Chains A and B, each alone.
Chain A
Amino acid sequence: MKRRSASRRALPASRRWLAAALCLAIGSAVAAALAAGDAGVLGLAPALAIALLVCRRRYPGASLLVAMRSRALRRPARRGLSPLTAAARVLTVAPRGGLLLACSLAVRPPPGALPAR
């Protein structure tokens, strides 16, 4: 609610002249460039489009970006393996060959972390 009221605040009077002067300057420049046949003025279109959007307090995709950011924050950072885990990784392998046969034939299978020989 607070955010909503904040976003609806009117432009302060001290800045209105600035906005008006800027609009006038840009408008005159664009008009003069068009009158002079300068197609390069079309390059200003993206800036004007984005400006129009945010001036109307539209923030397309903002909630999606916030969600992506929080997802990225929640994702645990990849860190280097601790020495213990690294050692376990080296030693623990899936049974193969004779060990695989033995495992499958065993009445009670050996523990998963059986060290390889």
Chain B
Amino acid sequence: MMRRRLLLLLVGALGVAALAYPATAAAHGIVGRADLPIPVWLFSWAAAIVLVASFVALSALWTTPQLQSERRRALFTLPGAVLALVNAIGLAVFVLVVYSGLAGTQVWSANFSVTFIYVVFWVGVPIASVLFGNVFSALSPWRTVARALRWGIGRLRGGRTEPPARYPARLGQWPAVALLIGFAWLELVYVERDSPSTLAALSLGYFAAMVVGMLVFGVEEWTAQADGFGAYFGLLAKMAPLVRGEDGTVFLRRPLSGLAGMRVGPGTTALVCAVIGTTTFDGFSNDAVWRELEPHLQSFFSGIGLHATPATELAYTVGLLACVAFVYAIYELGINGVAHVSRRYGSAELSRTFVHTLVPIGFAYVLAHYFSLLIWQGQAVGYLASDPLGNGANIFGTSSYRIDYTIISFAAIWYVQVAALVAGHVGGLTLAHDRALSIYRNPTEAVRSQYWMLTVMVAFTCFGLWLLSAVGT
């Protein structure tokens, strides 16, 4: 116990020490960069030192696996009425998003749907999932409707509720990967991304596809494998200290311990890499390197006969996919190194074994890149809720609210971004070390394998900080 406390203290102290230098940075193209008291690259070096120190501390002091099994402690039971209320709220908000998108003003900043989808849904739900568990399983409108329909169909079929078809195992989570990348493409590449009516129409299409899929293949199976958002939020929820049982009981568990039992199938690695890669591209598309590269790509596509808009979209699509591939390549090469340490396991097996270590990194990237968006643009929900259609209504009396950009300083944003990146990677390193202890009997092999994971983590940290610092330069 003392050793673990010492370890936590050491890691925490190093983290604080590394962050004890003020600076400012930007994310998501919203924040401008202010003057930095020290060069940005020094932050990367400090973060790398924190990771190396964490690696040493873990290797020396974390001697037995601690996170390979969930130790749940029941806290309380959620009444069925609460769950039904949350289901209804999720459904009502979805209806509002679609209605405001179709019937409201087409000015994105005055329409509820755009801010809700890109800020509350895309950034807020992942954070809530990591804090409180899989909240989206209760809020998901398509899941609620599919469950209700399945219940009704079951009643008609005399109580038989099994789905008519079996989900093809070989597909795994690939549909979720495609949908997640598709959403990222919509957000980062598509020129009509801010059009409320387009977003509403796409939301309706997604809703219909999900409901049909759930009815055919089963609600839980489809949610976990093919619903892009269900799979993504469910993945992040495994980091949470809270988990809800099937009977509604809420349990407390060690943070991150839920990831050890993560179901890894076809497409799972790609799903995690897609989370990191798409966020990476969000930062990279604001970087000087991309600004140099993009015109060449665009002119290449123009040269083969495409108009300006499709050429630009194709160039950005290439960039988006390249970022996902880049993240995948770094991870696979790191795993390849781990495989060289011992003949006991092959690369493919190790890739599946260690993929859960990327989940905290994915969340760290999301938090770091979108934090400013959530804090600033998230305030817009205050006045958009009163006037969701942008027609001058004042339902809750809050339509005169405005975004307060002084609510948080640039320096505080930079602290949060660096802290999120470093903490996420230390979390990943901890998970990797814990897993290595459980699969390698030889301590030398366990330690050596983690040199490779350390390399992967340092690479992702330095790369992430570089991208964050490059925004707005």
Contacts and interface: CB of A to CB of B under 8 A. Distances in A.
Genuine A/B complex = yes
A116 B389 CA distance: 84
A55 to B, nearest CB: 7
B121 interface: no
A68 B55 CA distance: 13
Interface residues of B, number: 54
A44 B463 contact: yes
B288 A50 contact: no
B41 interface: yes
A45 B462 CA distance: 8
B63 A15 contact: no
Nearest to B469: A40
Contacts of B330: 22
Interface stretch (A25-33, A85-93, A103-111): A25-33
B458 A50 contact: yes
B81 interface: no
A61 B451 CA distance: 10
Contacts of A45: 41, 44-45, 462
Given A18-B329, A43-B45, A45-B41, A2 B459 contact: no
B427 to A, nearest CB: 18
Contacts of A62: 444, 447-448, 451
B187 interface: no
B337 interface: yes
Contacts of B470: 38, 40
Contact of A7 (B44, B340, B462): B340
Given A29-B289, A42-B41, A47-B459, A59 B343 contact: no
Interface in B431-459: 443-445, 447-448, 451-452, 454-455, 458-459
Nearest to B284: A29
Contacts of A112: none
B333 A15 contact: yes
Contact of A47 (B48, B59, B288): B48
Contacts of B329: 18, 21-22, 25
Contacts, number: 139
Given A36-B292, A38-B473, A47-B462, A70 B443 contact: yes
Contacts of A78: 1-2
Interface string A57-73: 10101110110111011
Q: How large is the interface on A (under 10, 10 to 19, 20 to 34, 35 or more residues)?
A: 35 or more
Contacts of B39: 39-40, 42
Contact of A65 (B48, B56, B341): B56
A45 B56 CA distance: 20
A1 interface: no
A15 to B, nearest CB: 5
Contacts of B473: 38, 40
Contact of A66 (B289, B326, B333, B447): B447
A22 B343 contact: no
26 contacts: A6-B340, A6-B341, A12-B347, A18-B332, A22-B330, A25-B329, A33-B289, A38-B288, A40-B39, A40-B466, A40-B469, A40-B470, A41-B466, A46-B45, A47-B48, A47-B458, A47-B459, A47-B461, A50-B455, A50-B458, A50-B459, A54-B337, A54-B451, A63-B444, A68-B59, A69-B443
